[in-house]
Amino acid sequence: MPDVKKVLIVGGGSAGWIMAAYLNGALNKKGTEKNIDITLVESPDIPSISVGEATIPSIGHILGVIGLNEREFMKATNATFKQSIKYANWLNNEGEFYHHPFSRYRPGPIDRSAQDWIGSDRKIPFTETVSAQAMICEMGLAPQMLGEWDFGTKLKYAYHMDAAKFANYLRDFSVPKGVKHLLANVTKTNIQENGHIKSVQTACGKTLSADLFIDCTGFSAHLMEKALGVGFEDCSQWLLCDRAAVMHIPYDDYFPSQVRPYTTATAQSAGWIWDIPMSIQRSIGYVHSSAFITEEQAQKELHAYEGAHSGAYETKFINFKVGRREQAWKGNCIAVGLSGGFIEPLESTGIYLCDLAAVMLAEHFPFTQNAMEAMAFRFNRILTNRFYEILDFINMHYCLSRRTDTDFWKEVQKPEHITDRLQAKLEFWKLKLPSTADFDDQFFPGQTSASLSGHGDVRRPIDTAGLWNHESYEAILYGMDFRGPEFENKPGHVRHPVRVPEFIIQRLHGARQKLPPHHIWLNQVMGMHQYEMHTPPPGWGKA
């Protein structure tokens, strides 16, 4: 069988350039070898959607394989550190909040932290009894020292960054290392008799052929949907938000005295607002359901969140549909990024799904044509499982809410908006605490035998804990007071004072001495400008 040598990526942006840079790093050894030929063609007429993007720690693997220097990457993308996601007003809308941090303390081979906390008076949030990172975030500290690290186990972190600048940085890094780059509008896709793509044609009359095509054309999915007819599975029943109102607040105009080392997700009347701090500005976006709020009302809530100064800035609206391509890989074409699916960015998984596709393709690359079908089968299974894992995890944030102040929050709690997989998990976790074993095969009492729809794989999707294990579930469950009322009303139950391990107490004391404020680290190490301080609007610090 003929070798697979030529890869054509149609579409740029962060999805396209992550694929190009990672494949070049992994398969061509950072451009020092020429095992595959990589070409990226993108339209010169379609502007990138420039929003602040939050990532998760897995991005460190991507940067390492590509060969990027962390500090050069941070400077080029206006990046800052991210150590956690902070959720505000999700439970009762009474100013409550909790963190989902990246680092966690494990006291020994058997961890009874959750069991101990549930039986306590719970006067300290659960996350603060298993991680120092939540309070390190609240203190506004960086996860790195100004000098050489001498503070024990390093803190896990990710980044906030400008997605458009990240794409440009990857382009400028990859092209000198052998990736070919063309600016042209693709106008036609030519299909072979076996259903595979043969080539694409551009508006300037050029024909581009390849052995493997990667569709990074966004929601339009020019190759996967329009040329190959692969359908889209609508998952909006489980996540009701379908629109975002986005705004940028430059620090030159308004610097709110700090750069938070975490992402904030603050619940609103019909969704939630992300707050992503970068080194020159903040990006805020109201992810909401158009069925429950108009554009005008959403913009009003976004302005109310930010304060009076936000009236000077443009608000852009982005429409989206939650769901996945029925096959991420069909024939010799792979859909990556928005062309392959979308889940709202509550847990910062947008870039992660592009990262995952790049890593899995490098691992499952079909170097010969007869390997194509087998590699596609496994690739599809892995991407499908991970999509549903993310869907369930984000779904959980909504269904555990007890808010009844708006129709939106009443609606998201209804059983018909909770996936059957998540329902089964939650019912089982009423009988036992979450543990590693719960992710072995992901089939619980009461769960249906619903399967995937054909395409050569009729097995149920499963949660492999590839992204979040039981500890991450605990952070959300107990941050949202899962089973709290049940234990509050338990007759004769005497609650002991909540216990914080000595290690965490010592870690916090040391953090105050060792770790600088986030904006000071950015200023002294990255050269971030010293902006004029402004007084934050009322309630800003509580978010």
- 106 closest CA partner among 98, 97, 114: 114
Instruction: Give 14's DSSP letter.
Output: H
Contact present, 189 and 227 (Cβ < 8 Å): yes
Residues with Cβ within 8 Å of 51's Cβ and at least 6 positions away in sequence, in order, are 163, 246, 283, 285, 318
From the number of C-beta atoms within 10 Å of its C-beta (0-12, 13-18, 19+), residue 9 rates as buried
Q: Cα dihedral sign for 241, 247, 251, 253? A: negative
- Token representation of residue 403: 């808010």
Instruction: Give 431's DSSP letter.
Output: T
Distance from chain centroid for Cα 31? 28
Task: Compute the distance between CA of residue 265 and CA of residue 276 in angstroms, rounded to an integer.
Answer: 9
Work out whether strand 158-162 and strand 197-202 pair parallel, antiparallel, or are unpaired: unpaired
Contact present, 18 and 62 (Cβ < 8 Å): yes
From the number of C-beta atoms within 10 Å of its C-beta (0-12, 13-18, 19+), residue 345 rates as buried
Task: Compute the distance between CA of residue 422 and CA of residue 444 in angstroms, rounded to an integer.
Answer: 10
Of residues 6, 34, 75, 82, which has the active-site annotation? 82
For tokens 């006067």, name the residue: 123
Task: Compute the distance between CA of residue 391 and CA of residue 531 in angstroms, rounded to an integer.
Answer: 39
- Token representation of residue 210: 């390849």
226 an active-site residue?
no
The three-state DSSP-derived secondary structure of 447-477 is CCCCCCCCCCCCCCCCCCCCCCCHHHHHHHH
Task: Report the catalytic residues.
Answer: 82
